[in-house]
C-alpha cells in the first residue's frame, strides 16, 4: 500500500526523493536544501552552506540513505525555526558512487565553494575515510572542517590526517562498539571469538581494529570464512564458537545467517555493528532463528525518552513519511551538532571561524546526547544495543 504525505506536510516521501536520485544517477549530483546563494544578495541575507557527502554505492546505500534522511530532517527543522543566527542553512548533498574519482570530485566541489563552511555527517565509512585522506593533502589555509563523519576507525583519525586538526568525530567507532557488545558475553567464560567479515575489503579495513579490541578483553580471535566461499562450495558455514562477531551490512549479515550451521544444541550469539539495521534484518526472513543477533548502535535507542530522540521522531513525522531508525537518528544528531557549533560563533560564520570554533572542542549536550573531549579525543563513546532473539523478538 502506497503511503502518502499527511495533510499539510511540507516534506516529501523519502522513496520519491530516492527515486529522483536514482533517475539522475549518482556521481557528482548536488541536492541543495535552503536558499540558493546569490552574488546580488547582501552577506547578511545569504544562507550558510553546509555540504554532506553520501556514498550511494550498492554496499553503502542502505546506511547512507537513512543517515542522509536524518540529516535532511534536522536541517529542515532548523530552517523552519529561523536557521542559524537568523540565516537559513543551505544543505548540499554531494552523492558519490563509491569510486575514488567520484569521491574526489565531490570533495573538490565542496572545497572550491568559498561559501561552504563545513562538511557535515559524511557517510559511509569508506567515503569518510577517503575524505580525510584527501583533506590531509590540501593546503592548510583551505582546510574544510569535517564534522561528525560516519567513521568506523576513529582511533586512526590522527594518523590519517597527519598534523592537521580538521576532523571532529562524534560517534563511537567499531572498536568501542565491539568492546561494549562483547564484554558481557565474554564474562561467561568464553575465550575465543569467531569473526566473519562481509568481504575482503571490509576485512582489510577492520582486522587490526578487531584484533586490538579482542586483545583488550584477553580474547582470542578465529576468523570464519566469508559467506561467499561457503556458498560456492555448496556447504554451510559451520562454526563452533559461542560468540561470532560479524563486520558488514544488513544484506551480508542475512546471507551469513542463512548459511550458518551450528552444532546441535549449541547456543550462539552473533554480534553485528551499527551498519546493520535490526528491524530490516527481522523482516528479511527467519534465518536469525539459528542464533540470537545483537546489534550495536552509536546513538540512543529510537524509542528512548531523551529529548533528542523525541525531537528526531517529531521532525521525521512532519517532514518524511518514514519510520525512525538508528542511522537516521545518527544523521539527525550530526546536523544538530553542526548547527550547535555554528550557533556559538560570535561574528561572521565562515570556514575559518567554524574551524576555530570546532577546534575548541567545547562540551555540547544535544538533548541528552553528550559530546565531550579531552584534548582531541572524545571523553565518551555512546553505544547502545538491541537483540533479535531466536523467536523473532527485538529486545532493547
**Euclidean distance between CA atoms 382 and 396, whole angstroms:** 15
- Report how far Cα 146 is from the mean position of its chain's Cα atoms: 14
pLDDT of residue 287: 65
**Euclidean distance between CA atoms 13 and 72, whole angstroms:** 12
Sorting pLDDT into bands at 50, 70 and 90, what band is 228?
Answer: low
**Euclidean distance between CA atoms 173 and 209, whole angstroms:** 10
Q: Check residues 20 and 196 and name the one with the higher pLDDT.
A: 196
Res 232 pLDDT > 70: no
Q: Check residues 169 and 226 and name the one with the higher pLDDT.
A: 169
Cis previous bond, 223, omega within 30 = no
Sorting pLDDT into bands at 50, 70 and 90, what band is 231?
Answer: very low
| pTM summary value | 0.86
Res 8 pLDDT > 60: no
pLDDT of residue 33: 61
Provide the β-strand partners of residue 370: 365
Res 26 pLDDT > 60: no
Q: Check residues 386 and 183 and name the one with the higher pLDDT.
A: 386
Strands ordered across the beta sheet of 220-224:
220-224, 192-197, 243-247, 269-272, 292-297, 384-388, 394-395
DSSP characters over 233-259 = HT--EE---SEEEEES-HHHHHHHHHH
pLDDT of residue 55: 96
Res 284 pLDDT > 70: yes
Q: What is the dihedral of CA 361, 365, 368, 371, to 10 degrees?
A: 0
Sorting pLDDT into bands at 50, 70 and 90, what band is 374?
Answer: confident
Please name the residue ranges forming H helices in the chain.
14-24, 61-80, 100-111, 125-136, 157-161, 174-186, 200-216, 227-233, 250-259, 278-284, 307-319, 326-343, 351-359
pLDDT of residue 44: 60
**Euclidean distance between CA atoms 291 and 278, whole angstroms:** 14
**Euclidean distance between CA atoms 234 and 217, whole angstroms:** 35
**Euclidean distance between CA atoms 3 and 192, whole angstroms:** 47
**Residue range 234-248: average pLDDT?**
75
Res 102 pLDDT > 50: yes
Report which DSSP code applies to 69.
H
Res 9 pLDDT > 60: no
| Exposure string over 356-393, b if 16+ CB within 10 A, otherwise e | ebbeebeebebeebebebeeeebeebbbbbbbbeeeee
Res 387 pLDDT > 70: yes
Distances in whole angstroms, Cα of residue 226 to Cα of each of 12, 125, 201, 206, 232:
39, 20, 11, 14, 11
The residue among 103, 236, 125, 245 whose CA lies nearest residue 173 is: 125
**Residue range 100-116: average pLDDT?**
94
pLDDT of residue 164: 67
Backbone φ/ψ region at 347: left (φ over 0), alpha (ψ -120 to 50), beta? left
Is 351 exposed, middle or buried, given 0-12, 13-18 or 19+ CB atoms closer than 10 A? buried
pLDDT of residue 43: 59
pLDDT digits (tens, 9 = 90+) for 120-177: 999 999 999 999 988 887 766 668 999 999 999 877 665 555 556 899 999 999 989 9
Are 82 and 17 in contact by the 8 Å Cβ rule? The answer is no
The number of CA neighbours under 13 Å toward the Cβ of 168 is 30
pLDDT of residue 158: 58
pLDDT of residue 32: 61
Q: Is the dihedral of CA 139, 360, 154, 366 positive or negative?
A: negative
Res 11 pLDDT > 50: no
pLDDT digits (tens, 9 = 90+) for 35-87: 444 444 555 668 999 999 999 998 888 899 999 999 999 999 999 999 999 99
Element (H, E) at 50: strand 48-55
pLDDT digits (tens, 9 = 90+) for 250-259: 999 998 888 8
pLDDT of residue 10: 39
Taking residue 31's Cβ as centre, other Cβ atoms within 10 Å add up to 17
pLDDT of residue 306: 95
Res 283 pLDDT > 60: yes
pLDDT of residue 347: 92
Beta carbons within 8 Å of 198's beta carbon, 6+ residues apart: 59, 226, 227, 246, 247, 248, 249, 252, 253, 256
Amino acid at each position: 500500500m502506497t503511503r502518502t504525505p499527511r495533510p499539510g506536510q511540507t516534506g516529501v516521501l523519502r522513496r520519491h526523493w530516492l527515486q529522483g536520485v536514482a533517475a539522475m544517477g549518482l556521481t557528482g549530483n548536488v541536492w541543495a536544501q535552503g536558499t540558493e546563494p546569490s552574488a546580488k544578495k547582501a552577506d547578511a541575507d545569504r544562507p550558510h552552506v553546509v555540504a554532506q557527502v553520501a556514498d550511494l554505492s550498492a554496499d553503502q546505500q542502505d546506511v547512507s540513505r537513512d543517515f542522509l534522511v536524518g540529516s535532511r530532517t534536522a536541517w529542515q527543522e532548523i530552517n523552519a525555526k529561523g536557521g542559524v543566527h537568523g540565516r537559513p542553512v543551505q544543505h548540499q548533498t554531494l552523492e558519490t558512487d563509491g569510486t575514488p574519482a567520484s569521491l574526489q570530485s565531490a570533495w573538490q566541489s565542496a572545497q572550491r565553494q568559498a561559501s561552504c563552511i563545513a562538511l557535515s555527517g559524511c557517510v559511509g565509512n569508506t567515503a569518510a575515510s577517503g575524505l580525510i585522506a584527501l583533506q590531509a593533502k590540501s593546503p592548510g589555509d583551505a582546510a574544510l572542517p569535517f564534522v561528525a563523519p560516519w567513521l568506523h576507525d576513529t582511533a586512526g583519525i590522527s594518523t590519517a590526517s597527519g598534523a592537521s586538526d580538521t576532523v571532529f568525530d562524534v560517534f563511537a567507532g567499531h572498536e568501542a562498539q565491539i568492546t561494549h557488545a562483547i564484554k558481557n558475553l565474554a564474562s561467561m567464560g568464553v575465550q575465543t571469538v569467531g569473526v566473519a567479515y562481509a568481504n575482503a575489503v571490509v576485512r582489510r579495513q577492520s582486522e587490526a581494529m578487531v584484533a586490538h579490541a579482542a586483545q583488550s578483553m584477553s580474547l582470542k580471535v578465529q576468523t570464519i570464512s566469508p559467506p561467499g566461499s561457503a556458498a560456492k562450495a555448496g556447504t554451510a558455514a559451520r562454526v563452533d564458537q559461542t560468540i561470532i562477531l560479524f563486520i558488514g551490512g544488513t544484506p551480508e549479515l542475512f546471507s551469513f545467517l542463512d548459511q550458518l550451521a551450528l552444532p546441535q544444541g549449541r547456543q550462539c550469539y552473533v554480534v553485528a555493528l551499527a551498519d546493520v539495521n535490526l528491524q530490516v534484518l527481522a523482516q528479511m526472513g527467519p534465518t536469525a532463528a539459528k542464533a540470537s543477533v545483537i546489534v550495536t548502535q552509536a546513538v540512543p535507542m529510537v524509542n528512548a525518552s531523551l529529548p533528542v530522540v523525541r525531537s528526531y521522531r517529531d521532525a521525521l513525522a512532519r517532514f518524511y513519511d518514514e519510520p525512525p531508525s538508528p542511522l537516521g537518528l545518527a544523521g539527525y544528531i550530526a546536523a544538530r551538532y553542526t548547527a550547535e557549533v555554528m550557533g556559538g560563533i560570535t561574528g561572521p560564520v565562515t570556514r575559518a571561524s567554524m574551524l576555530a570554533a570546532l577546534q575548541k572542542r567545547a562540551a555540547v549536550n544535544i538533548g541528552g546526547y553528550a559530546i565531550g573531549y579531552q584534548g582531541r579525543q572524545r571523553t565518551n563513546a555512546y553505544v547502545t544495543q538491541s537483540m533479535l532473539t531466536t523467536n523473532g523478538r527485538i529486545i532493547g
